Structure 1
Amino acid sequence: MDQNQERTWGALVHLGGLIGMFILSFVGNIIGALVMWLIKRNESAFIDDQGKEALNFQITLSLVNVAIGLLISLRHGIWAFRSIWRDHDFDGWHGFGSAISLYGIVSLLNIIFSIIAAVRANKGIRYRYPLCLRIVK
């Protein structure tokens, strides 16, 4: 594989998470990065390295999304329990805006860092995501 193809696939691996995110919101990002990495990982050490990095970042973001979901659910549960003992009606939409904004921040971080990584990989520079769990080694 020539260097130009290697760089292109390195960028595509990073963009695979973005593409997957828009197809399936919470797990598509992992599937997108995983599929792109699995297709070409044996053909280039650069693609293998960048694929692992992209996959680790997408797994990290998905874990953050799960944590946000758990915290929002816990918050709703506590609010509902409190409303039983008070004369307030439970509003099912309470906190909905905060959930959307937290998920939006995670999605925005995914877009920003994936584009930065794709641009760097397209230049042949190995990119390391900040605050990323290194699960796939």
Structure 2
Amino acid sequence: MDINEATAAPPAPAGVPSAEERQWAMFAHLSALAGGLLTSAIGGWGFFIGPLVIWLMKKDTMPFVADQAKEALNFNITISAIFLVLLILTFVTLGIGALLTVPLMLVVGLGALVLIVMAAMKANEGVAYRYPFAIRLVK
């Protein structure tokens, strides 16, 4: 028996995500935050880029990662759509609506941050997380 064989982790049972799958699933959720930060100079609309890239890379090889990346992608598309509607409402009201839309954007943004961190933690535990509200565009 080789030393590497003796110290290697046993394979995960069927149906249980491996450590690598759990890590990629966590990255799928957290990549939304990274995308938002990296695109902050142009308004921060890159929330969905990270989950999209991870989903496209892993959809055929890691089912748990594909599921969680789709969930993160759908949620972040929904959040981006909410922000777009609030932004349009601000412009349509010639800025007066900002009294309502800016606090709403802060609440939605903070809520999204909390939900993304919770989803990343659950995915890292191997639990398939479902966001409480998301338009399921990618199936």
The verdict on a shared fold, with TM-score over 0.5 as the criterion, is yes
Using structure 2 for the length normalisation, give the TM-score.
0.78
- Structure 2 Cα separation of the partners of residues 123 and 111 of structure 1: 19
Match of 2:103 among 101, 104, 122: 101
Q: Which has the higher contact order (CA 8 A, sep 6+)?
A: 1
Match of 2:79 among 40, 58, 61: 61
- Structure 1 Cα separation of the partners of residues 53 and 106 of structure 2: 24
When structure 1 is superposed on structure 2, of 99-108 and 117-126 the one drifting more is 99-108
Indicate whether 1:20 and 2:20 are aligned. Answer: no
In terms of fraction of residues, the more helix-rich structure is 1
Identity %: 36
**Cα deviation 1:53-77 (Å, max 9, x = unaligned):** 000000000000011011111221x
Q: Secondary structure at the match of 1:29?
A: coil
Q: Secondary structure at the match of 1:120?
A: helix
Partner of residue 82, structure 1: none
5+ residue gaps, structure 1, are 77-92
Deviation at 1:22, TM superposition (A): 1.2
- Indicate conservation of the 8 Å contact 1:26/1:62, yes or no: no
- Indicate conservation of the 8 Å contact 1:26/1:65, yes or no: no
When structure 1 is superposed on structure 2, of 7-16 and 95-104 the one drifting more is 95-104
5+ residue gaps, structure 2, are 1-10, 13-17
**Root mean square deviation of aligned Cα:** 1.9
Deviation at 1:102, TM superposition (A): 2.3
Using structure 1 for the length normalisation, give the TM-score.
0.79
Indicate whether 1:71 and 2:86 are aligned. Answer: no
**May I ask how many residue pairs the two structures share in their alignment?**
121
Deviation at 1:27, TM superposition (A): 2.2
Amino acid at match of 2:49: I
